């Protein structure tokens, strides 16, 4: 049992991808450690695959699962969703509110600050997970969101970054935090460090992730086509994932005459997808600390990835498996080499022993759990109550 059992609520928008995985890991580990955990997230995203993931995590959610309509963009509907979140959170009486991503972070910190007006002791944590940090600082939209991030620091007890790249991006675009901060890498369970056996008819390349341009499915498709030209022969590819833009990528495959060599599949467990191809390709234009790269390496899969976000912190800053983001030609060259020289990509992967020590789910949960306990025990900050009064 922990030195103090806490009531922890995680708030985030979309229950897909890395944020959802991160929260599930924390919920399972902290529940096992004796804390009570709950989740508040969007009800309009996700499908049957995500529903199954919720079913698997429910036994760890002593404070339950609450799903509300929460849009991606800032809109008038946010007022209704924030009020509903406030009522739910107030009834649950949490000790810790941890917001993930820009929208979840805003809801958690505003609600937490409103509760603190009444001298309610709740600690407010925020993990950007990329989020608003992906915006361009030179554009008005970027300056707007970074100004909001700066303002929200006054309602934050601790920032939790998942990569040094994310932390440095925050420093560059928002400024040096005026609240406590920490860096804790995402981690994996010990059971995930088992090589994945290939299917008999395994493809050459796998794309797995959200079907949106930020993650680069279009780059994968163009690079695949170019790789076939460079190699002078056809390849076989697999694309796994869901998202609003998926029909557009299906049309792109058909228009390029690739729909007979690249198959599209719904979201599934990562290890099931890994069995479908020899090489994993992560062509993202932006990332924080993507779980899919961690999962692939732990499963013994060779990875080609964009040099973005925290990926160089996983593969190594000078790894030959890294390519320029958005550059289909560079990605195609690496894909051809991976097929023609399979040992090249395998030997480019990090040592599994050091990798396992660095990216442990248990270590991640312990570090964040200790931060929760310390923040909850700290005296209420005067500036938090003052700011909360101004927004209530």
SS3 assignment for 252-279: HHHHCCCCCCEEEECCCCHHHHHCCEEE
Task: Tell me if domain 7-187+360-391 and domain 191-356 are identical in fold.
Answer: yes
Closest CA to 160 of 146, 181, 145, 133: 181
H or E segment and range at residue 237: strand 237-240
What 3-state DSSP class applies to 180?
strand
Mean pLDDT along residues 315-334: 97
Q: What pTM was estimated for this model as a whole?
A: 0.84
Residue 365 has pLDDT above 60, yes or no: yes
d(C-alpha 303, C-alpha 345), whole Å: 7
The answer to whether the CB of 143 falls within 8 A of the CB of 122 is: no
Q: Which residue has the tokens 């779980």?
A: 291
Residues 6+ positions from 147 with CB-CB distance below 8 Å: none
Residue 385 has pLDDT above 90, yes or no: no
7-187+360-391: which CATH topology? Rossmann fold (3.40.50)
The answer to whether the CB of 155 falls within 8 A of the CB of 112 is: yes
Residue 77 has pLDDT above 70, yes or no: yes
H or E segment and range at residue 7: strand 7-12
Residue 388 has pLDDT above 90, yes or no: no
List the alpha helices (DSSP H) in the chain.
Answer: 17-32, 48-57, 77-92, 101-117, 140-152, 164-173, 217-231, 246-255, 270-274, 291-298, 311-315, 328-340, 342-348, 352-358, 361-377, 382-391
d(C-alpha 121, C-alpha 379), whole Å: 9
CATH 3.40.50.2000 assigned to domain 191-356? The reply is yes
> What would the pLDDT profile of 23-56 be if each residue is shown by its tens digit?
999 999 999 999 999 999 999 988 898 999 999 9
> What would the pLDDT profile of 242-300 be if each residue is shown by its tens digit?
988 999 999 999 999 999 999 999 999 999 999 999 999 999 999 989 999 999 999 99
> What would the pLDDT profile of 214-233 be if each residue is shown by its tens digit?
999 999 999 999 999 999 99
d(C-alpha 235, C-alpha 162), whole Å: 35
What 3-state DSSP class applies to 125?
strand
Residue 240, φ and ψ in degrees, nearest 5: -125, 130
Token pair of 254, please? 């058909």
pLDDT given for residue 2 in this prediction: 57
Token pair of 101, please? 């991503």
Q: Which residue has the tokens 């060599």?
A: 261
Residue 383 has pLDDT above 50, yes or no: no
How buried is 52 (Cβ within 10 angstroms: 0-12 exposed, 13-18 middle, 19+ buried)?
A: exposed
pLDDT given for residue 380 in this prediction: 66
d(C-alpha 86, C-alpha 118), whole Å: 14
Domain ranges of the chain: 7-187+360-391, 191-356
The answer to whether the CB of 98 falls within 8 A of the CB of 129 is: no
């Amino acid at each position: 049992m922990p030195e103090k059992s806490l009531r922890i609520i995680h708030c985030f928008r979309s229950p897909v991808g890395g944020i959802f995985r991160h929260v599930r890991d924390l919920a399972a580990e902290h529940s096992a450690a004796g804390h009570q955990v709950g989740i508040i997230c969007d009800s309009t995203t996700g499908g049957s695959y995500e529903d199954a993931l919720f079913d698997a995590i429910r036994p760890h959610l002593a404070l339950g699962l609450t799903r509300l309509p929460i849009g991606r963009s800032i809109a008038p509907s946010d007022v209704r969703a924030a009020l509903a979140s406030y009522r739910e959170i107030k009834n649950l009486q949490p000790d810790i509110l941890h917001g993930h991503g820009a929208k979840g972070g805003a809801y958690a910190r505003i609600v937490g600050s409103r509760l603190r007006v009444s001298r309610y002791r709740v600690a407010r944590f925020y993990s950007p997970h990329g989020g608003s940090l992906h915006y361009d600082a030179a554009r008005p939209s970027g300056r707007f969101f970074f100004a909001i991030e700066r303002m929200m620091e006054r309602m934050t007890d601790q920032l939790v970054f998942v990569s040094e790249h994310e932390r440095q991006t925050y420093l560059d675009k928002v400024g040096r935090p005026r609240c406590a901060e920490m860096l804790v890498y995402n981690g994996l369970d010990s059971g995930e460090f088992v090589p994945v056996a290939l299917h008999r008819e395994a493809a050459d390349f796998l794309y797995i992730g959200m079907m949106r341009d930020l993650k680069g499915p279009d780059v994968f498709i163009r690079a695949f086509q170019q790789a076939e030209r460079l190699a002078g022969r056809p390849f076989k590819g697999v694309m796994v994932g869901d998202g609003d833009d998926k029909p557009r990528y299906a049309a792109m495959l058909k228009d390029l005459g690739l729909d007979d060599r690249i198959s599209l599949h719904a979201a599934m467990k990562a290890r099931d997808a890994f069995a479908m191809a020899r090489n994993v390709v992560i062509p993202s234009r932006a990332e924080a600390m993507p779980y899919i790269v961690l999962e692939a390496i732990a499963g013994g899969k060779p990875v080609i990835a964009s040099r973005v976000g925290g990926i160089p912190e996983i593969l190594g800053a000078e790894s030959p498996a890294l390519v320029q983001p958005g550059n289909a030609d560079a990605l195609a060259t690496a894909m051809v080499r991976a097929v023609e020289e399979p040992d090249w990509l395998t030997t480019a992967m990090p040592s599994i022993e050091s990798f396992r020590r660095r990216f442990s789910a248990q270590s991640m949960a312990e570090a964040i759990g200790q931060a929760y306990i310390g923040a909850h025990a700290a005296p209420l900050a005067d500036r938090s109550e003052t700011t909360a009064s101004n927004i209530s």
